[in-house]
Amino acid sequence: MHALSSQRGFTRLSELRIPLQRPGTRGIVTYSLPASSTNDGHDAATRKEIARRLADLAGLAYDGEYDPLLRYSTPPYFVPSDTLTTDMALRLGIRGEPDLFGGVVSHPFMATKTITHPLVGPNAFAPRGWSRKFARRVSDVVLDGYSAFAKEDALVAGYRLLDRGAVRIKLASGIAGLGQFVAESGMDLARILDAVDPQEMASSGVVVEENLIDVVTYSVGQIRVAGIIATYYGTQRLTTNNEGAQVYGGSELTVVRGDFDTLLAFCVADELRIAIAQARIYDHAAKVCFRGFFASRRNYDVAQGAAASGLRRSGVLEQSWRLGGATGAEIGALAALRSDPSLVTVDAMTREVYGERPVLPKDAAIYFSGVDPRVGPLTKYAWIKPNADTR
């Protein structure tokens, strides 16, 4: 398995100027969904900094948090906290990719990992808008598993998969590696599912999936901002948070100017080519199966590891159609590509470091550094490095 090297030299991402608001000039605003779990602390601060950097990149004004009582002379560009629904987007004046950094879906569950797998049967409960067609289209590029929106269906799914080994139960609301549990027996399965709130189960659902070991998680994505299309692959890393749990700790990306075909031209490792091909099929299925879907930021997690049988497996775990942990690296790469039209590829990385007074590279571009009310001391930063290969 070929993972990206973590030993790279990176140069500083220059400080960005924040242009002042001008009458009639389109601005960039952050937008916090009322029900979002990321509306304060490090998430909100990071979103604000991302919006500032996007404003400089696009030559727009940064107008802070969206104010529904304010009349904007020009409809703003949005950086929302989560994937929006079609109804939300229309109310905000968002009509397509050029209007936001993120994505739009017709139903809330479509923004979660529960779209990845089929239901356990034709009579299983599903939310309005459920697409059986999507699950069929992606069946060859995901791991074995099921999505469930009722405890009884999740139990059926778990017992089916336990015949082949341990299973992983994932809450749709879980992010950064949280909200996941491994069951090795029927007793484990029942205990885990008993703890899931029935309302959360019915609205968002859970994923019940084969559990892999010795896992490498690849990120494959594409961003369309300020007239630039950039596509990337990369790896994620785990870190230990202030509670001693293993959580998302950053990403290392190779970003190319262009689409998935261009990306494949820069990728030679078989494992990476498989991950890119699988993410591409998943992305296309979303465009075909989810009416009204569009996104300017698309990110897909692809896991490769050993199943209980010992066979190596690869499959898309989930999508992210909103800003995420890798966005600092994405924005840095976009800025490099915009500033140098001859540049074809950029290496970029992000890190999330828990604890007080972490030792940081002197050239780090800091997105957040402080004490978050929920997770404690945390620093988030990014680096970029133009790649010498400019084919």
pLDDT digits (tens, 9 = 90+) for 63-101: 999 999 998 988 999 999 999 999 999 999 999 999 999
The pLDDT score that the predictor gives to residue 178 is 61
Least confident of 19-28, 85-94, 294-303: 19-28
The CATH architecture annotation of domain 214-386 reads 2-Layer Sandwich (3.30)
CA atoms within 13 A on the CB side of 278: 28
All structural domains of the chain with their residue ranges: 27-107, 110-211, 214-386
Cβ–Cβ < 8 Å for 211, 168: yes
Q: pLDDT tens across 193-248, in order?
A: 999 999 999 988 999 999 999 999 999 999 999 899 999 999 988 899 999 988 88
For the cut 60, the answer to whether the pLDDT of residue 375 exceeds it is: yes
The whole-number pLDDT of residue 181 equals: 94
The third-level CATH classification (topology) of the domain covering 110-211 is: Dna Ligase; domain 1 (3.30.1490)
CB-count exposure of residue 68 (10 Å: 0-12, 13-18, 19+): exposed
Task: Please state, in angstroms and rounded to a whole number, the distance separating the CA atoms of residues 302 and 323.
Answer: 18
Residue 36 pLDDT level (bands cut at 50, 70, 90) = low
Whether the model pTM is above 0.75: yes
Q: Read off the pLDDT of each residue in 161-182 and give the average, rounded to a whole number.
A: 85
- Residues 77 and 281: beta-carbon distance below 8 Å: no
Instruction: Note the pLDDT of residue 362.
Output: 73
Strands of the sheet with 365-372, listed across from one edge: 312-320, 297-306, 213-225, 228-240, 246-257, 345-354, 376-386, 365-372
| Model pLDDT, residue 10 | 41
Mean pLDDT, range 327-338, rounded to an integer: 94
pLDDT for res 12: 45
**Among the ranges given (35-39, 142-146, 376-380), the one the predictor scored with the smallest mean pLDDT:** 35-39
Query: Residue 380 is inside which H or E element, if any?
Result: strand 376-386
Q: 159 pLDDT exceeds 70?
A: yes
pLDDT in tens, 251-288: 999 999 999 999 998 877 999 999 999 999 999 999 99
Higher pLDDT, 288 or 8: 288
Give the model's pLDDT for residue 7. 38
pLDDT of residue 387: 58
Give residue 140's pLDDT. 97
- Residues 102 and 327: their CA atoms lie apart, in Å, by 11
| 73 to 23, 48, 165: CA distances (angstroms) | 7, 21, 59
Q: Please state, rounded to an integer, the average pLDDT across all residues of the chain.
A: 89
Per-residue pLDDT, 4: 35
Q: State the pLDDT at residue 133.
A: 96
Closest-CA residue to 116 (of 290, 324, 311, 325): 290
Could you tell me what percent of the chain has a pLDDT over 90?
77
